[in-house]
Structure 1
Amino acid sequence: MRTVGAASSLVPLVTVDFWRVPRRRVGHALARMATDRAALRGVSGLSFARMLGTGSASSLGLRGADPCQWAMLGVWQTPSAARSFERSAQVRAWSALAEERWRIDLHPLSSRGRWSELEPFGDPAAANQPGPPGAKVAVITRARIAPRHSLTFRRAVPPVVADLAQSDGLLFAAGIGEAPFGLKGTFSLWRDTASLRRFAYGRPAHGEVVRRTPEVGWYSEELFARFAVLASRGTLGGRDPLLHLAPDPTLTPR
């Protein structure tokens, strides 16, 4: 396990799990997605959770979906609650299905906007807990696209995707979503804050989308959250995206 620092008790611990399942078990994974959404509501210490489909960060719909990769976002009141969840029926079931698992632990740094009318990461700025120095940076975005703007939004995205692919310092990116259409998000991992800022403010296509957002009103709801990376373990595609090196196999199912 790669550990960068310790989580503060004043802000929640956020975890993101990715599971890769063999194609022959995709049907079982779909069933687990349905049952786990309800089961997670009763998990002690879990204040917010979403089961997520994943896919290419370059696509907005079913065309880019990856039926062999699934994810869970969890917001934990304490690190001990997250550790206890490792012994849960949900984790055991996914471990039995998956051929790979990658988990990343995150410390919220900033968050603006809402997810299903909630603020899942609280107000990290008010807690004034900066996270460990030198930590890599993760970003979660999520938007509910206003139906009347769906077409114009889709047309604006390809140049942004091209900018993202060319961004120096990007370690990993995936599309995430609760539904194939209308509810869109991304999870991205960056070498440092400077790399993220260069993409956000230095790439022309992304800057144009940011500038047009209040003018066009693409979203009926949106969220942007930034995190310091505390730890990661396991693999995706045979490596830990955080390290770009041979991974610690602790969470890789045998």
Structure 2
Amino acid sequence: MQTENEIVSITFFEYPKRNRWWAFNQMQLAIAPLKKARGVKFFKLMGTGGGSGFSLKPDLKTYALLMVWENQDFAKNFTTSDAYLRFNQQCKSNFTYWMQCIQSHGTWHSQQPFSPMDKKATGPVMVITRARLKWSKVLRFLTQVPAGSRAAAGAEGLIYTKGIGEWPAIEQATFSYWKNQQFMENFAYQSAHRDIVRKVKKEHWYQEELFARFVPVSLDQSQAASPRS
């Protein structure tokens, strides 16, 4: 279980066309500076998909930076660091969701990145799902992507969702933000998404997977993170 202080952030950076090659190169070049960020326990810089949830079409203008911080002071200070400022200077816009993990199972590259706190979601809830597919199941997975994307696009209570990942098709994740836990569970257990999950389990598509839930927080403790539509 985590201390009350651990903070998770995910920032979506949108780049103008002239800076997209720079942004793509940061997938490797930014690793060393990000490792030096004070108080960071885990991070992933990822590309994004162009549809709802998992997507076959990349969004070449948008990149996601997921970070886990020891406490909110380190999280706050990151926005004044050289690593962050370099992203901020090159992008057209960015938005950060600040969260605390309340549930997590599975691993990400054999690590358990999130330490859940003993807290229930009484309002909005965020979810990160991540999977590394077996090579033999990639084509099977890709045939299911359109149905899953359509279900996500029409999901009641969904505020925002974005497909994220380190490698197209092989290492995929999704970030989603819901009005409350009931809407999220309705989508997970009473839709086309449920049928896809059943196929995943029955046919053993994944080498590794992770599921985590979060609640939004504000770093000044005054209000929850603002919804993004």
TM-score by length of 1: 0.81
Q: Output the CA distance in 2 between the equivalents of 1:199 and 1:129.
A: 22
2:196 matched residue in structure 1: 209
**What percent identity do the matched residue pairs reach?**
30
Distance 1:219 1:109 in 2: 24
CA distance in 1, matches of 2:98, 2:65: 12
Q: Which amino acid aligns with 1:208?
A: D
Deviation at 1:153, TM superposition (A): 1.5
Deviation at 1:217, TM superposition (A): 0.4
Q: Distance in 1 between matches of 2:35 and 2:4?
A: 23
On the 8 A contact 2:44/2:65 being kept in 1, the answer is yes
Tell me how far 1:83 sits from its aligned partner.
1.1
Distance 1:191 1:79, change over 3 A: same
Aligned to 2:157: 169
1:144 lines up with 2:132 in the alignment: yes
Q: For the structure 1 residues 30 and 157, does the alpha-carbon distance in structure 2 shift closer, same or farther, using more than 3 Å as the test? A: closer
Measure the CA separation in 2 of the matches of 1:21 and 1:152. 32
Question: Which residue of structure 2 aligns with residue 235 of structure 1?
Answer: none
In the alignment, which of 75, 88, 105 is matched to residue 81 of structure 2? 88
Q: 2:28 aligns with which of 9, 28, 34?
A: 34
SS of the counterpart of 1:74? strand
User: Cα gap change, 1:165/1:71 in structure 2, threshold over 3 Å: closer, same or farther?
Assistant: same
Tell me the distance in 2 between the aligned counterparts of 1:60 and 1:141. Answer: 10
Structure 2 residue 164 is the aligned partner of structure 1 residue 179: no
CA apart distance, 1:154: 1.4
**Cα displacement (A) at 1:226:** 0.8
Is 1:10 the equivalent of 2:4?
A: yes
Deviations 1:178-220 (A, max 9, x none): 12230011111111111101100111x2111222222110000
Is the Cα contact below 8 Å between 2:142 and 2:169 reproduced in 1? Answer: no
Structure 1 residues 105-116: aligned runs within 5 Å: 105-116=98-109
Gaps of 5+ in 1: 1-7, 233-239, 245-254
C-alpha RMSD over aligned residues:
2.1
1:17 CA drift (Å): 0.5
In 1: Cα distance, 2:186 partner to 2:167 partner: 30
Mapped contact 1:58–1:64 kept (Cα < 8 A): no
1:45, distance to aligned residue in structure 2 (A): 0.9
Instruction: Output the amino acid matched with 2:160.
Output: F
Distance, in Å, in 2 between the alignment partners of 1:225 and 1:142 is 9
Distance 1:195 1:93 in 2: 37
Contact (CA 8 Å) 1:15, 1:106: kept in 2 or not? yes
TM-fit CA distance, 1:152 = 1.3
CA contact (8 A) 2:132 2:209 kept: yes
**In the alignment, residue 98 of structure 2 is paired with which amino acid?**
D
Give distance in 2, aligned partners of 1:109 and 1:97: 34
Instruction: Give CA-to-partner distance per residue, 1:144-190, whole Å, 9 cap, x none.
Output: 01011111111223222211111111111111011223001111111
Q: Offset of 1:33 from its aligned partner?
A: 2.8
Asked whether the equivalents of residues 175 and 186 of structure 1 are also in contact (C-alpha less than 8 Å), the reply is yes
Q: Does 1:128 align with 2:124?
A: no
1:188 to 176, 181, 198: 176
